[in-house]
């Protein structure tokens, strides 16, 4: 097999940059539990606007992460 040079997903990406066809991206830390191999996370990468569906999902996830108010105990102690 002869894998493509650079990022293997570049040919299928609407966000591929010139470097994607030249050099495989390193892993960038996204969170404590997630890394992604994409040049789009490099500090010098151009800023891109994610698709509307991704933005919607990010907002939904962020809302789920907000701390909830404590539930009061409806049973009164005497």
Q: What is the DSSP string of 9-22?
A: TGGG-TT--GGGGT
Chain centre distance of CA 48: 12
- Angle at the Cα of 41 from the Cα atoms of 10 and 59, rounded to 5 degrees: 105
Tell me the domain boundaries of the chain. 10-64
pLDDT digits 0-9 by tens, 26-77: 999 999 999 999 999 999 999 999 899 999 999 999 998 877 777 777 676 6
C-alpha pair distances (Å), 10 with each of 37, 59, 75, 76: 12, 27, 59, 62
Tokens of 77: 């102690």
The pLDDT assigned to 78 comes to 60
Confirm whether pTM is higher than 0.85.
Answer: no
pLDDT digits 0-9 by tens, 2-20: 888 999 999 999 999 999 9
């Amino acid at each position: 097999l002869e894998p493509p040079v650079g990022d293997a997903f570049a040919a299928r990406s609407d966000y591929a940059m010139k470097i994607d066809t030249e050099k495989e991206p390193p892993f960038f830390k996204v969170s404590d539990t997630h890394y992604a191999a994409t040049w789009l996370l490099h500090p010098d990468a151009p800023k891109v606007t994610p698709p509307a569906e991704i933005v919607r999902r990010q907002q939904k996830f962020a809302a789920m992460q907000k701390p909830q108010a404590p539930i009061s105990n409806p049973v009164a102690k005497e």
